[in-house]
Structure 1
Amino acid sequence: MTNPRSTRSIIILAVFLAALPRITASIYTPSMPSLVDYFATTEAAVELTFTAYLFGLAIGQIIYGPLSDAWGRRPVLLVGLVGFALSSLLAAFSPTIGTLTLGRFIEAVAAASGGVLARAIVRDLMGPARTVRALAYVTMATTLSPAVGPIIGGQFEHYWGWSSIFVALAAGGALLVLASWRFLPETRDPAHAAPPGLRGLAQGFVKLARSPAFLAYSVSGGFLFSAQLVFFASAPFLLIELLDISARDYGLYTVSGVAGFMAGNFIVTRVHDVTGTARMLLIGSTLSLVGGATMVAAVASFDLTVWSLVGPFTIVTLGGGIALPNAFAGSLNRYPEIAGTSSSLSGFIGMGMSAVSTALLGLMHAVSALPTALFMMVLSALAVVVALANPERRAQQRKSAPARGAL
């Protein structure tokens, strides 16, 4: 049993672990236009390094949860973090764009250990009653980090060049190895140890796949996260190439997205107990749709400006800040005995959807902001549809209907 001070330390560590895969995804985006010249390649080839990372992250999601359910969170996490530090060095010293793409893929598979196991560790420590509030902080790191990453990466690109970004990531991975070794005990309940091997893995996935509520939370969250990553995949070329923003300043224009997500997380911590997980998911998804539709209207009707992009994106992140903690908590609370597997499958669904979305956008070879805005609007609309179909939302409606009738 961990004491309150130890629990706080572990939650803080979980926040950094959760941020790792997402900040690694976006921190090098200010360098993407310069990579075209450095490797004498095309924008499509550079965008493939981003898509390869998302596919690697999706695959990594599947690996770590079931392994941690069988063998424990701590040893599986340490192996993943060591792999992350080494693969970041491979990316840093890549001689070709192909090697960089491979390095990014391996880096993503390793980085997934942080995101998957951070959520499982929080669920282990907090239990179902307090998971949503704790995950609000973890999810803040998860979704803020793609916005914070370019701010940091832009400075590294300006002063030391693109390879310094990956050297810094390797150093950060090494620090997380040391912190996890020092401060993280084993949090998995031995009584909930899942059977190792392919049979235990298959049993967990089948159990989750048969749960409509788990799928509703995971898929709606995946659509919302895809809407945000579509923006981060295309924003470097839109802002740096089309609007002539410097790589150094690029990240500063994403700060409004950070503010939107923080506001959404703050709302969750204040009203979740009254509103409920399923309803909060629908409210956040609807706000994200409003933001996507606003961006479509702005870029289709007026000349492209920085604020016609980042203004509506702030509304999208506000909705994400409300919806995503509830999507994560809703998927994790279904079957606490396989929280690691739940986190893995939910993460795989979300990252797989994000990878496909960014790949499809890249295939369009868009030269304007309209395709990005349309993708964000459609993805948010699909999140609303799935949130409406969530059986837990309908159950909450039926439960509250007699109470309203009695008033």
Structure 2
Amino acid sequence: MLIVILGALTAVAPLSIDMYLPALPELASDLSTGAMQAQLTLTACVVGLAVGQVIAGPLSDALGRRRPLLVGLAAYTVASLLCVMAPNVETFIALRLVQGATGAAGIVIGRAIIRDLYDGVAAAKFFSMLMLVSGLAPILAPVLGGQLMRLTPWPGVFAVLAGIGVALYLAALLLLKETLPPEGRETGGTRATLATFRELAADRAFAGYGLALALSFGAMFTYISGSPFVLQDIYGMSPQAFSIVFGVNSLGIVAAGQASGTLAGRVPLERLLGAGLAIVAVGGVGLPVAVLAGAGLWGVLPALFLMTSGQGLVMPNATALALDDRPPRVAGSASALLGLAQFAIGGAAAPLAGVAGPDTALPMAVTIAVLSIAAVAAAALPGRAPGPPPGKAAPHD
């Protein structure tokens, strides 16, 4: 049950982002704005997710995991309802920022709870198992969004997100126990939090694995932001066909994540991470090659599948390696810094996909390629020998 709850909490980000991807072109038309401003509604949510994690993570170290989580989920529900009533794109962007900031609590606190309970290979196995649950969100969200578009205008998507917020709040309230007892909490206030951030940023292992995770995520988020316009407007896919392609790519992430969980403990986590980054880079570099060669949709889709599938190996192992050996009292802050890097890079990269307008896929392709290569380089920073400690027993929830 713990896996299901934490998976649902960490799915807040893909649900908030992916469910309305098929509606982006309609949203742009309805709010009388262009593709780049429509993509800024994604960026606003991502910036909110980044900032919210920096707030919620340290708060959960000081106050425990439950209280900040419940407040965040309640506020997320209210923000989602307000998005339904947004009268213009400027208001909508501001509300998306708030929605992301409040929804961040589930992501950062979910990771911190895992670190409270597991470390080393056991944590990597749990993160991989978590991807089976949270990985369903990017598969189902655009499909659900595409089907909702048949029944309701785009604001209906946010009414559904508000309902999901209510369900998550009730699940956390009734089923999730506190995992950070008072004696294990951080008591130094803001000064201690800033000192923790400085120590983590100066740690080569944390910085290297964290940057590899963030840059790889940036490549995927560029795809998430740009693909609705590239695949629908340039390559002529319907919202329903787009949602199927998006779901297939997400299924690749889940499959790779499950392979990672099976191999963790037998193959060093660093090697699993390296394999994932290599797959991401091959797909990332192949994307501009396919676009420049004029290979069309059937050249672009395999490259996107490789780039996204590799994330299933990158995410659990980079996260576990970055959080390895961090004491539970700073797990929230460490998780927050990882989240900040991920969503800051993703938010900065996403608008680049639309800089040349709606007629070319090249900006998206080049951005993904550059970030994929940079992620490989970042993973070399730790310079650490393979084989982390086995950690606590692997989860059986």
Whether TM-score is above 0.5 comes out as: yes
In 1, distance between residues paired with 2:267 and 2:185? 33
Query: Quick check: 1:333 aligned with 2:332?
Result: no
Aligned partner of 2:369 in structure 1 is 377
C-alpha separation in 2, matches of 1:155 and 1:221: 32
Q: Write the deviation string for residues 341-385 of structure 1: whole angstroms up to 9, x where unpaired.
A: 110001101110101111333334352112212211111111111
Instruction: Indicate if the aligned counterparts of 2:50 and 2:339 stay in contact, CA closer than 8 A.
Output: yes
* Count of aligned residue pairs for this structure pair: 386
Aligned-pair CA distance for 1:145: 3.1
Q: 1:342 aligns with which of 334, 337, 360?
A: 334
Q: 1:158, 1:247 within 8 Å by CA — same for their partners in 2?
A: no
Bigger relative contact order, structure 1 or 2, given CA contacts below 8 A and separation 6+? Answer: 2
- Aligned mate of 2:7, from 6, 15, 37: 15
In structure 2, what residue type is equivalent to 1:104? R
Q: Does 1:229 align with 2:195?
A: no
Structure 1 CA distance for aligned equivalents of residues 301 and 129 of structure 2 = 23
Residue 304 in structure 1 maps to residue 296 in structure 2: yes
Residue 105 in structure 1 maps to residue 97 in structure 2: yes
Corresponding residue number in structure 2 for 1:164: 156
**Comparing 197-206 with 376-385, which one deviates more in the overlay?**
197-206
Contact 1:256–1:310, Cα closer than 8 Å, also in 2? no
Q: How does 1:241-260 map to 2 (within 5 A)?
A: 241-260=233-252
User: 2:204 aligns to what?
Assistant: 212
Q: Deviations over 1:254-277 (max 9, x none)?
A: 122123212211221122212212
Unpaired runs of 5+ residues, structure 1, are 1-8, 398-407
C-alpha distance in 1 between matches for 2:377 and 2:295: 31
State the 1:35 CA deviation: 1.3
TM-score normalised by length of structure 2:
0.93
Q: In 2, are the aligned partners of 1:140 and 1:261 still within 8 Å (CA)?
A: no
> 2:292 is paired with a residue of what secondary structure?
helix
**In angstroms, what is the RMSD of aligned CA positions?**
1.7
For 1:215, the aligned partner's letter is: A
What TM-score, normalized to structure 1?
0.91
Q: Report the Cα distance in structure 1 between the residues aligned to 2:349 and 2:231, rounded to whole angstroms.
A: 20
Q: Compared with structure 1, are the counterparts of its residues 366 and 34 closer, same or farther at alpha carbon in structure 2 (3 Å cutoff)?
A: closer
> 1: distance between equivalents of 2:304 and 2:356?
21
User: Could you tell me which amino acid in structure 2 is paired with residue 317 of structure 1?
Assistant: T
Q: CA deviation at 1:302?
A: 2.6
Tell me, yes or no, if structure 1 residue 396 matches structure 2 residue 396.
Answer: no
- Cα distance in structure 2, aligned partners of 1:144 and 1:181: 23
Conservation of the 8 A alpha-carbon contact between 1:73 and 1:117 = yes
User: Is residue 226–residue 379 contact of structure 1 (8 Å, CA) maintained in 2?
Assistant: yes
Q: 1:237 to 1:314 in 2, by over 3 A?
A: same
Name the CA distance, whole Å, in 2 between partners of 1:389 and 1:202. Answer: 23
SS at the partner of 1:95?
coil
Calculate percent identity across the aligned residue pairs. Answer: 30
Say whether residues 1:152 and 2:162 are aligned partners: no
Give the corresponding residue for 1:67: 59
Q: Distance in 2 between matches of 1:141 and 1:310?
A: 25
Contact 1:261 1:317 in 2 (8 A): yes
SS in 2 for 1:285: helix
Q: How does 1:18-37 map to 2 (within 5 A)?
A: 18-37=10-29
Deviations 1:98-143 (A, max 9, x none): 1111111100001111111111112212344411100112245555
Structure 2 residue 322 is the aligned partner of structure 1 residue 315: no
Would you tell me which structure has more helix in proportion to its own residues? 1
Aligned pair partner of 1:46 in 38, 52, 55: 38
Q: Which amino acid aligns with 2:386?
A: Q
1:202 corresponding residue in structure 2: 194
- CA–CA separation in structure 2 for the residues paired with 1:361 and 1:313: 14
Displacement of 1:144 after TM fit? 5.3
Q: Hey, what does 1:133 align to over in structure 2? A: 125
State which drifts further: 380-389 or 365-374. Answer: 365-374
Q: Can you list the C-alpha shifts for 1:67-98, whole angstroms capped at 9, x where unaligned?
A: 00000000000000001000001111111111
Aligned residue type for 1:367: D
**Conserved in 1, the CA contact under 8 Å of 2:121 and 2:269?**
no
Q: Does the 8 Å CA contact 1:259/1:314 hold for their aligned counterparts?
A: no
Cα distance in 1 for residues equivalent to 2:354 and 2:53: 23
Counterpart pick for 1:293 among 285, 296, 308: 285
Please tell me whether the aligned partners of residues 62 and 187 of structure 2 are also in contact (alpha carbons under 8 angstroms).
yes
Structure 2: stretches of 5+ with no match in the other structure: 388-397
Query: Which amino acid letter does the alignment assign opposite residue 119 of structure 1?
Result: R
Aligned mates of 1:346, 1:25 — CA distance in 2? 19
